[in-house]
Structure 1
Amino acid sequence: MLDPFDGSLPPLETVLAQTRVVHLPMRVKFRGVTLRETALIQGPAGWGEFAPFLEYEPDEAAAWLACALEAAWLGYPAPLRESVPLNATVPAVPPAQVAGVLASYRGEVHEVKVKVAEPGLPFAESLAQDCARLAEVRKHLPDARLKIDANMGWSEDQAGQALTALSDYDLIYAEQPVETVEGLAKVREVLRSAGNSLLIAADESVRKAEDPLRVARLGAADLLIIKAAPLGGVRRALSIVEAAGLPAVVSSALESSVGIRTGAALAAALPDLPYGCGLGTVSLMSKDVTSNPLVAVDGQLPLRDVEPDPALLQELAAPADRVAHWHHRIRDCYRLLETQKP
């Protein structure tokens, strides 16, 4: 992992003393979550967010801690733009709930990412629901650019069938339709052989891979979905995009406005942003850690710092046993970061 500190990490006990663990209630279920648990860390440069999902073990979560410490102790690279274009996100909700989800976004919506391939349903039934969900989004936003995210939910054969059917909704790209890099390459080849030019985006194949550049080497995707936290911070993510030589879209990992600020810093530092970024998930939460949430207006996210409100930190504070749990996670991840240093 690229070490932006180029020296000692901030002292562990200082990190723990400056950590606040909070519970953020969701408006709708997203990634199976109705209450987002996350840790905020304050440092001399501001606030960082440590928000690996609860099932992530330290070997995967350590990069998230590196990102939070980078934000809190080093700050961000110089931006190239003052705002970032965003997409709205529609979870895998029934069609009747689509209008309510879209209504939570402020002003005009120019681009929408729609979740598909929800687990737990037979393929045919799931695909029918995906089509209905996309049709509902298109009904409300006839001129918006649409894209889908399957979160590795299909087999290669299912992906070919599903992407052929869903292409009728004039999609700009499909995100991570299958699990493996080789699978992405095969699905992309099948589409091209059938004359389907739908772009394929790699997400989990970049952020969960030991070698995030393998996607580019194998020609498995047309663009990358990148998240600052799973890649170890803004600086490391920028280096990966540069080495891959592919267009990039910055996305969030269901963080508070503090984590969205980190994603915005990454997006603002990229040379090009051809698509709207997935940094609008604060709109899916009914509570945030700041009274001035970092959300888009008319599809543009302003680049500004975020300062959590002390009263909200207290109101949303997790109970003592959960704070102890997160302190334990931070200790485990910190030890891993120490061993990775040269």
Structure 2
Amino acid sequence: MLLLNQHFPMKLVLSPWLMHPHILEISPGFINVVLSSAWMAKCIESMLINGIDSWAPKLSVKRAVVDFCSPNIAKEMHVGHLRSITIGDTLARMLEYSKVQVLRRNHVGDWGTQFGMLIEYLFEQFPGSDGSAVTAIRDLQSDGGFTYDTTDMAALWYRLNEEKAEWIIYVTEANQEGHFDRLFKAARKADWLPSNDKTYPRASHVRFGQVLGEGKDKEWTLEELNQTAEAVGYGALKYADLKNNRSTDYSFSFDQMLNDKGDTVVYLLRAHARICSIIRKSGKDIDELKKTGKLALDHAEERALGLHLLRFTETVEEACTKLLPNVLCEYLYKLSKHCTKF
């Protein structure tokens, strides 16, 4: 503790990203620092000049497969499929922003009993080209069908060895967690995946809760789904899903989605429109500001906004590595609250 209090702080006070040395507060076991406004402004200026892509986090993974949606093609789709699509597509976009090559996969693996019956009939009617019957595949289900495990194991092997994926992400409802746990254990036993799930190649199950209607009904008719999509818009629909922790259920509510107060996409869009209006009324040329402009964070609200902006990279990295889009949504909501103070 003596070494921490007497020597380490002296290196800190000389750092360009700190305020004046007298603002450094030292107490037993804690070091409280205040970032320099000039340093914060310089970082934000760099982002303004080089673009938001320059703030993308650097992830160790280079190539990933995101398996999402994957409906049973023998059944009608319902509103619950929107959650897999929304979460899966958002995870893919976050990884792509972080310079990861992403392969989106909609694995059509559940053909339904009626398709199996049709295929069996065709085998019976059309034997092999040499006139002999097609040899049956043994060690399957009692009725001769493939199991989910066999098809998913085959898909996993293909993605690891043919598509060269380092990270394979499955986006499904939480009730399939046991299936994927067994799948990953089998892959590790076959030495397809390392025993340590923190190293690559890696397979992850992104489980999510159900989408419940205001009456707590899971299924929606196609007509209701179309009316919903037209009424709330894609933005409100996606954000209402993504802002929640994916592991929990959430209620599908028009009133909550369209509310212009609180954590909704309407609130975020209003904050964005307000900032655009401020920029427009200021008469400043953004392109010219990128070349010659200097930022000054003199007021408390400006410092608070600047400090929040500087957390962008670490927020995106956390959302990507933990596969939690709601982390990014929370950041955007707080950013909107900072912006509305101007």
Specify which structure has the higher proportion of helix.
2
TM-score by length of 1: 0.24
TM-score by length of 2: 0.24
Specify which structure has the higher proportion of strand.
1
**Larger RCO, structures 1/2 (Cα 8 Å, 6+ apart):** 1
Instruction: Report the structure number with the largest CA radius of gyration.
Output: 2
